[in-house]
Amino acid sequence: MIATAPFGRTGHNSTRAIFGAAALSRVTQEEADRTLELLLQYGINHIDTAASYGDSELRIGPWMAEHRSRFFLATKTGERTYQQARDEIRRSLERLRVDSVDLIQLHNLVDPHEWEQALAPGGALEAAVEAREQGLVRFIGVTGHGVTVAAQHRRALERFPFDSVLLPYSYVLMHNPQYAADFEALATVCRERGVALQTIKSITQAPWGERDRVYATWYAPLEDQADIDLAVHWVLGRPEAFLNTVGDITLLPRVLDAASRFSARPDDEAMERLVAQRHMEPLFV
């Protein structure tokens, strides 16, 4: 089983490995159902999906009649205006076959123009707040990618008291001095204000580049169990961090297995060997 921790100030104790349901974007319902059984086996109690994750919400929907109470359920809207976000939130509820979700997140909110639009009057945040007032969502978060996201999330928390943030975090990415400084500053604010800190891209080996894309991930992932163990354990070695799992159902068992055996963060020597042996590169530069 995988350990749990308070998910910020929400009052929910989430498993420190959160199921990243981007893995269900392009799978059959049968494959999705087998994935649910794996989640139950490891005691996963938090699902993170998005309106833009292909068929993911549709694949989760059939589980909810029986299993809704088992999961903290999160989705995302990538829309930037009030009306479009309002419509997308309600469409997500229909696809998920639920009356409400626990967390709605403004998806990949990094571009400065989109950031201003979404957080301004008439923007997507207004739709999220309305949905919360109407009981359709309980909490509101923000997510993003790229090397500027940590700084943008920190700005977002000055504009609105988001309940959670989500952004990349890995050993090799934290070699970027500016990103590392921005991440640490954001983590401090999250810790002080009870904001849940979700991380993604934990098992990135490198950008795909010219490699054959043999997994449904946005990056070339680590594959060997021992390598995945190191990468996952390094992320989980940050006590307040949650690790959102990999976007490929064939790699998911290895990530969950690693998370279930976490005991301590690997030292820098072990991580530097991994970086050298696997020619690891940051996904974002």
Q: What is the CATH number of domain 4-277?
A: 3.20.20.100
Report whether 10 contacts 165 (CB < 8 A).
Answer: no
DSSP state for residue 148 in the 8-state scheme: T
Q: What is the pLDDT of residue 146?
A: 96
Return the ∠ at Cα 56 (arms to 54 and 57), rounded to 5°. Answer: 110
pLDDT digits (tens), the chain, 285 positions: 899 999 999 999 999 999 999 999 999 999 999 999 999 999 999 999 999 999 999 999 999 999 999 999 999 999 999 999 999 999 999 999 999 999 999 999 999 999 999 999 999 999 999 999 999 999 999 999 999 999 999 999 999 999 999 999 999 999 999 999 999 999 999 999 999 999 999 999 999 988 788 999 999 999 999 999 999 999 999 999 999 999 999 999 999 999 999 999 999 999 999 999 999 999 888
* Residue among 216, 196, 164 nearest 25 (CA): 216
* Parallel, antiparallel or unpaired: strands 17-20 and 220-221: unpaired
Phi, psi of 46 (to 5 degrees): -145, 125
Q: What is the pLDDT of residue 212?
A: 82
Structure tokens at 33: 């159902």
Q: What is the pLDDT of residue 209?
A: 86
Q: How far apart are CA 272 and CA 277, in angstroms?
A: 9
Alpha carbon 169 to chain centroid distance?
11
Q: Residue ranges of the domains in the chain?
A: 4-277
Structure tokens at 104: 């709605």
